[in-house]
Amino acid sequence: MPDDADHNGGRNRAVPSGRMTRLFGLGSLATGIAGNMLAGGARNLAQGKLPRLGDLMLTPANAHRVADKLAHMRGAAMKVGQLLSMDAGDLLPPEIGAILARLRADATPMPMSQVVSMLDANWGAGWRHRFQQFSFTPVAAASIGQVHFGVTSAGQRVAVKIQYPGVRQSIDSDIDNVAALCRMSGLIPKSVDFGPLLQQAKQQLHEEADYLREAASLRRYRALLADNPAYALPEVHDALTTGSVLTMTRMDGVPVESLVQAPQAERDRIVTLLFALFFREMFEFRLIQTDPNFANYRYDRETGKLILLDFGATRDYSVGMITHYQQILDGALARDRAIMAPAAMALAYFDETTPDQHRDAVLGMFVEACEPLRCEGAYDFGTSDLAARLRDAGMALGMERDFWHTPEADVLLLHRKIAGLYLLAARLKARVDVAGLSGVAMMVKS
């Protein structure tokens, strides 16, 4: 079996797996940022300018430092950086947003020695005899693991996702350390209690790091979508799957976000399939893959199948929660805030102490977000400024410091899923009959 050496232009860097090593990594990141801020402040003062903390923090030098350090550390630290780059990307200066966008692409791959060590630990020392071929050069490297291609001794083409060493053990400390860094930098106001949200984030990442759980979620989705040949999902290779290594049939195709120049009808069909899947997930399955990363979707241009990957962030939603969202949807379509308000309160978007103007702002965003569902026929995401309007409304509400509020993780994850669909639809300039799709899904539910 040919063994590929590391061919990543020297980019391979061992994943720091010890708790103290990772803490030191974040500590050195904070020190470096502070040094850049002091230098920048000194330059401003020398030029007779009064330095502003926000301007000193959000510099290309600091963004480079953050992206490089988190890409090296991987794990929960990188995951937090990915969330920041996706949620705040449009709000940051373009050059800084572009730097942080690196975190949504590939992480720094781990070297061959760590790959071998992980596979020895999970498959046993003689694992190479199970393969005709195994490539040690990863085809993708993300926050929790990296993917390799191989061919089994039985001739099956497989994709092997290998978790970085120490990731599962470092989740809690990584999140605590990154949260402390954000507090110290002023990115999170000191008045905000993020404790419950951080606890939920830890739980979610522990679930994502359990590859046996992801394998079970993938099997559930394969069964649920078996009736629709438009979707293609990999099959789990049980004999080569553990809690830290997930082996599946290899799925090729092209990244969905690369299809910006594809014919309009093809782009429309792809995004329509994604929205149709979401409505089935929400109203029929009550099981939602909540990760909005575009890399989770690929497209087979020969067969026209939409390929679905990565089910680590799969969540079950209760009947009660979906019923509340149905009520909000009904009210938003009718522009009736009296219908929406009780369900919004039940989902903890606000409570009895929330001022009326803040309640109205939240309900107004629901109405705004449902614009595609009020459109008769295809909604043109390519010409719509809906994303910008929602962003501006969210920023205006966020500036009200007496309305810093954090709903439950399942609520936030659902928002991110929907936002990801809207962003991808806008990226591909797709035209989708969202109202028709949602109507069919709700009829199936009832």
* DSSP code, position 18: S
> SS3 breakdown of the chain: % helix, strand, coil, rounded to 5?
60, 10, 30
Report the 10 Å Cβ neighbour count for 242: 15
Query: Hey, what amino acid is at 315?
Result: R
Take residue 125 and report the two structure tokens written for it.
Answer: 């020392």
* DSSP code, position 10: T
Take residue 322 and report the two structure tokens written for it.
Answer: 């979906």
Q: Beta partners for 361? A: none
Beta pairing, strands 231-232 & 145-152: unpaired
Alpha-carbon distance of 243 to 150, in angstroms, equals: 19
Contacts of 327 (CB under 8 A, 6+ apart): 339, 340, 342, 343
Alpha-carbon distance of 333 to 366, in angstroms, equals: 9
Does the annotation mark 336 as catalytic?
A: no
Alpha-carbon distance of 180 to 182, in angstroms, equals: 5
3-state SS string for 196-255: HHHHHHHHHHHHHCCHHHHHHHHHHHHHHCCCCCCEECCCECHHHCCCCEEEEECCCCEE
Report the 10 Å Cβ neighbour count for 363: 23
* Marked catalytic residue, from 174, 268, 291, 433: 291
Backbone angles phi, psi at 113, to 5 degrees: -60, -40
Nearest to 57 by CA among 86, 30, 85, 79: 30
Alpha-carbon distance of 164 to 260, in angstroms, equals: 33
Active-site amino acid positions:
291
